[in-house]
Structure 1
């Protein structure tokens, strides 16, 4: 007798049972596509079968896992969300199905709905580390950093030996300016799990944030030894630190920070941080009278937000940034005539008397000593060329510049003027501004335009 469950005359309950068995056999055989097909056939027999919808969602979560195409991945998560949604409609009592639904919605970009579902689940199942971790991710995606941090802490408290939850909490701590807490969280876990390269890598990045290059190198080298294919991308940071970077806010730290931040950079910066530096700079340049057709270099271009503002003035627009992933995001905008990965001073040193306008929107906050960038700008500008930038403002009585708790430098107005004068540049404009917010409060800033 044939074992094919599709054979005619098979009772519906037996057919569904046989299809379920085939589906789970395919899942165990690492064939999620075959499993999804079996579960879909079960649903063709009984569309009101909640468990079949949930099983189809589980199979969809694994199908196409190897794809790197963002559209394919997003569609996979949206298919999961639809399947879980059907299951929950049929049986809203299953909190595991609701958890799967909320997670799938988060992954396919339905953040507001996901946050609401996770909030309900967290009220019902406060003892579930899986729920608290999912809630933290949703809150983070929605821009609620402090609430997300609290949920990450709950997830780690419920599951203290889970590297995934600890790593995400450490990342959130470092982003909040508390890299020391990230180190203190991860070091005991790395001793319990000494062969996990992700823990040593994350500890290394946290030490970089704390300007402890030797400690960072020790941790990153350990991660490299455990990850010889460099899947974590630590090689560049090791090379930078071995070359002597790290006494300041090192290039290694800035590169690692923004590579991790690239995917959510625009949403966070324009949303919760109220980032306005590009528009403020463009308005200031216009006030001084700017013609079109300029050769413009966007220093620390990030994802290209300043490129959006300055493209109308540019006959040729170039951008440079330390973070390869940020440059990839900028390239997607199709605004720039040339993009490169590298240091801003090195980019300025490449060609003398080349640029009509240099733009640095919220970039100099990652540099303490501004003398090298002013000197390089003076050489890179044509006669009459201008350098327009924002910095965070320090009081003149507090020294030339200071590193704040958010790991960003603030510079005194007197210091900025002195650096411009020393480089032979004339200050055409210097005024207070608010380039962004921190925790809902405007950050005191300075906007300046200097001219060769």
Structure 2
């Protein structure tokens, strides 16, 4: 039989719990966890403390611990909606999405009517399970409960954009902006589906996060599923020019290093630069690069002390529309007579310099690329029209451009 805690013990545990809540609210998650654990040391099995401990462990990205804590709550109180919510969130972090979906559904069944956050997470889980139509319904339920939930508007807009329902997507992105969503990111989204001004490039944090999340399955998905061929096509036409071997090569936006096996045999030194640290880890594992740099490409070109006689960029400019800063920065990083070779997607017409497509990729016109080259002191050696990859089994038209610096 457990002894009843004394008044002093209860008060001490309560004070630790309240301090833990304050730490949590102010983002001090390590401190919050210690407060909750200390409180539980005085009052073991306290449901409210365990629930907040699970929430804290999720913030600390320790889903296995959060799952165990949520299970403790459910062993004491099987109908605790918050515990089911935290359990589902932990399962989601562990990529156990089907189990997470069941957890969110249990949480929704137990929660008071009008709970928005569980519907948001339910929709995100359905997206992870590649069920966008069902996810759209979940986001609508979340927004019915809380019309100011910016993330639900944003996710809804993303699904509608992929469904090619551009006007509805644009309205969703406008609502996300109105309710406090990231302005730079959502103006970029909005420009892809409306006549809003096109930003010069994709937001850096968007590209970095996208490829950090994509790193593990990048090669298999891009090459195996999307039929990506820019790296091999770019290298094949480069080799045919017969201009090597090269002293020092810079692989802009090198990613996981798909170009490296083609470039390494034709150069003495190979340097890669990319915004995604997780992609660079994959590139490092190849053992083909002499140096890898975690940086934005223009920043690297402007800051490097190295001089390159070959610079490549395979499928990089789909995230950069305005190439003026890139060409301007190349002037100080390249040797005279060095080669700059890159791929680009084609605009629908030659009227625009560049455009942002609903796919969230940029395309450039041939007229624009030729003008940029001439303006920045490059001679055009070759321009090849060939597909970049496939989208829904349709080839994406591209250009492979080979320039020599005067």
* Shorter-chain TM-score range: 0.5 to 0.7
Name the counterpart of 2:172. Answer: 181
Aligned pair 1:137/2:124, yes or no?
yes
Name the counterpart of 2:250. Answer: 297
Name the counterpart of 1:226. Answer: none
Equivalent in 186, 194, 214 of residue 206 of structure 1? 186
Whether the 8 Å CA contact 2:249–2:308 is kept in 1: the answer is yes
The structure-2 alpha-carbon separation of the partners of 1:94 and 1:371, relative to structure 1 and needing over 3 Å to count, comes to closer
Unaligned ranges ≥5, structure 1: 1-10, 44-50, 66-72, 190-198, 212-245
Name the counterpart of 1:35. Answer: 36
Equivalent in 169, 183, 194 of residue 153 of structure 2? 169
Residue pairs, 1:267-346, within 5 angstroms: 274=225, 277=228, 280-282=230-232, 284-285=234-235, 289=239, 295-301=248-254, 304=256, 306=258, 312-313=264-265, 315-320=268-273, 326-330=275-279, 332-333=281-282, 335=284, 337-339=291-293, 341-342=295-296, 344=298
Residue pairs, 1:45-60, within 5 angstroms: 55-60=49-54
TM-score, reference length from structure 2 = 0.67
Equivalent in 86, 89, 97 of residue 103 of structure 1? 89
- Post-superposition offset of 1:82: 1.7
RMSD between aligned residues: 4.9
Flag the structure with more relative contact order, 1 or 2, with Cα contacts below 8 A and sequence separation at least 6: 2
- How many residue pairs are counted as aligned between the two chains? 369
- Post-superposition offset of 1:101: 0.4
Equivalent in 232, 249, 271 of residue 199 of structure 2? 249
Aligned pair 1:158/2:110, yes or no?
no
Aligned pair 1:78/2:64, yes or no?
yes
- Post-superposition offset of 1:285: 1.5
TM-score, reference length from structure 1 = 0.61
- Post-superposition offset of 1:425: 2.5
Q: Deviations over 1:19-57 (max 9, x none)?
A: 8876444211326424325536866xxxxxxx6577435
What is the CA–CA distance in structure 1 between the aligned matches of 2:177 and 2:353, rounded to whole Å? 35
What is the CA–CA distance in structure 2 between the aligned matches of 1:451 and 1:259, rounded to whole Å? 28
What is the CA–CA distance in structure 2 between the aligned matches of 1:312 and 1:145, rounded to whole Å? 42
3-state SS of paired residue (2:402) = strand
The structure-2 alpha-carbon separation of the partners of 1:379 and 1:84, relative to structure 1 and needing over 3 Å to count, comes to closer
The structure-2 alpha-carbon separation of the partners of 1:263 and 1:184, relative to structure 1 and needing over 3 Å to count, comes to same
- Post-superposition offset of 1:79: 0.5
What is the CA–CA distance in structure 2 between the aligned matches of 1:309 and 1:119, rounded to whole Å? 48
The structure-2 alpha-carbon separation of the partners of 1:376 and 1:97, relative to structure 1 and needing over 3 Å to count, comes to closer
Residue pairs, 1:8-47, within 5 angstroms: 11-12=1-2, 14=4, 23-30=13-20, 32-37=33-38, 39=40
What is the CA–CA distance in structure 2 between the aligned matches of 1:443 and 1:120, rounded to whole Å? 44
- Post-superposition offset of 1:426: 1.5
Whether the 8 Å CA contact 1:152–1:169 is kept in 2: the answer is yes
What is the CA–CA distance in structure 2 between the aligned matches of 1:287 and 1:310, rounded to whole Å? 11
Name the counterpart of 1:431. Answer: 386
- Post-superposition offset of 1:184: 3.3
- Post-superposition offset of 1:281: 0.7
Whether the 8 Å CA contact 2:354–2:363 is kept in 1: the answer is yes
Whether the 8 Å CA contact 1:22–1:35 is kept in 2: the answer is no
Whether the 8 Å CA contact 1:54–1:83 is kept in 2: the answer is no
Q: Deviations over 1:423-452 (max 9, x none)?
A: 312127542231x64xx5556132525253
What is the CA–CA distance in structure 1 between the aligned matches of 2:220 and 2:99, rounded to whole Å? 18
Unaligned ranges ≥5, structure 2: 21-31
- Post-superposition offset of 1:81: 0.7
What is the CA–CA distance in structure 1 between the aligned matches of 2:221 and 2:72, rounded to whole Å? 34
- Post-superposition offset of 1:158: 0.6
The structure-2 alpha-carbon separation of the partners of 1:399 and 1:100, relative to structure 1 and needing over 3 Å to count, comes to closer
What is the CA–CA distance in structure 2 between the aligned matches of 1:364 and 1:433, rounded to whole Å? 12
3-state SS of paired residue (2:250) = strand
3-state SS of paired residue (1:444) = strand
